[in-house]
Amino acid sequence: MIEARQLTKRYGDKTAVDGVDFTVRPGAVTGFLGPNGAGKSTTMRMIIGLDAPTAGTVTVNGRRYAEHSAPLHEVGALLEARSIHPGRSAFDHLMVLAHTHGIGRARVTEVIEMTGLQAVARKRAGAFSLGMGQRLGIAAALLGDPQTIMLDEPVNGLDPEGVLWIRTLLTGLAAEGRTVFVSSHLMSEMALVADHLIVVGRGRVLADTTVQELVLQAGGDTVDVTTDDPAGLRRVLTGPGVEISGRPGSEQLSVTGLPARAIGLAAARHGIALFELTARTVSLEEAFMELTKDSVEYHAANTLVGAA
């Protein structure tokens, strides 16, 4: 469990993280999404004590990171700029980390196998490809068998097989009851793994919601209808939670709050002919763009926060 309360980070005049509140719960993959510069990495750095908050708090499993006596067992993290001694082998790098927590060689071998690094474990980490480096970073994050796993842009540099492997790994860790917190600026990738989403923009939480809810809020439940009797159809469909728009004189209406099936049935019952009945599909990417585009950034925050 990760809990941020009014978490704030300022660098001089720049507010990178602006009073954010969120809770990342166990047993699910939570995606941490936002465009470049939204404050994701800064938030993650504060979670593991690499940066101190200017105000507010963030705890992992009920305590600030620095208060844990064996932090590797609490939270395993892969941050973008994790430094690995280039001359050291993957195995030695993991052994050095393991020693700090009294973790044995058997666990090092285990995480090497889990991350598919067996063939290169004795090679210099400095010669690793980006994808291999990511796998090594993930191996290090898993070393302490932590309850909470936090990964910053984990699919960066991974080939399709690696991306698939990451997905399976993350959903598997969540299924074991762990807290899994993963950042990305790729909504499409998050849609495939995340159960829950926290979307940030300009250091603020814009949405704390599920994938389905986000699509719905972005207009995913709009249905376009064309009829020769728009006035009649409006009368038939009007009801609580239903919004109907359309240009005066136009035969086309856009309806939100009713599924296409209900609209079709209501029209048939009243003998109103329809020429078009199309459920508008909003892709997750569109929903994300809509949410994070500058002009609606703070408006969106008001309507979406707490919508889950």
Ligand X SMILES: Nc1ncnc2c1ncn2[C@@H]1O[C@H](COP(=O)(O)OP(=O)(O)OP(=O)(O)O)[C@@H](O)[C@H]1O
Q: For the chain, give percent helix, strand, coil, nearest 5.
A: 40, 25, 30
Residue 85 beta carbon to ligand X: minimum distance, rounded to whole angstroms: 23
The tokens of 13 are what?
Answer: 């005049």
Residue numbers 171-190 binding ligand X by CB under 6 A: 185
**Cβ closest to ligand X, residue 43 vs residue 227:** 43
Residue numbers 3-22 binding ligand X by CB under 6 A: 11, 14, 16
**Cβ closest to ligand X, residue 39 vs residue 230:** 39
* Residues in the chain, total: 308
Residue 8 beta carbon to ligand X: minimum distance, rounded to whole angstroms: 12
**Cβ closest to ligand X, residue 39 vs residue 133:** 39
- Per DSSP, 89 falls in state B
**Cβ closest to ligand X, residue 14 vs residue 247:** 14
Residue 38 beta carbon to ligand X: minimum distance, rounded to whole angstroms: 4
Contact criterion met (CB below 8 Å) for 48 and 232:
no
Residue numbers 134-163 binding ligand X by CB under 6 A: none
**Cβ closest to ligand X, residue 96 vs residue 130:** 130
Residue 34 beta carbon to ligand X: minimum distance, rounded to whole angstroms: 5
296 by Cβ neighbours in 10 Å (0-12 / 13-18 / 19+) ranks as: middle
Residue numbers 29-48 binding ligand X by CB under 6 A: 34, 36-42
For the beta sheet containing 179-184, the strands, ordered from the edge strand earlier in sequence to the opposite edge, are 75-78, 148-152, 179-184, 28-33, 196-201, 204-210
Backbone angles phi, psi at 206, to 5 degrees: -95, -30
If you compute the radius of gyration of the chain from its CA atoms, what whole number of angstroms results?
Answer: 24
Beta bridge partners of 36: none
Asked if 292 is part of the footprint of ligand X (rule: CB under 6 A), the reply reads no
Number of shown-chain residues binding ligand X (CB under 6 A) = 12
Q: Where are the alpha helices (DSSP H) in the chain?
A: 40-47, 71-74, 90-99, 105-114, 130-142, 160-175, 187-193, 211-215, 230-237, 260-269, 284-292, 297-304
**Cβ closest to ligand X, residue 35 vs residue 220:** 35
Residue 74 beta carbon to ligand X: minimum distance, rounded to whole angstroms: 22
Tell whether the torsion through CA atoms of 83, 3, 303 and 258 is positive or negative: positive
Residue 228 beta carbon to ligand X: minimum distance, rounded to whole angstroms: 50
Contact criterion met (CB below 8 Å) for 107 and 143:
yes
Tell whether the torsion through CA atoms of 204, 141, 153 and 178 is positive or negative: negative
Binding string, 248-287, against ligand X, x = CB under 6 A? ----------------------------------------
**Cβ closest to ligand X, residue 12 vs residue 241:** 12
Binding string, 92-131, against ligand X, x = CB under 6 A? ----------------------------------------
Interaction site with ligand X (CB under 6 A): 11, 14, 16, 34, 36-42, 185
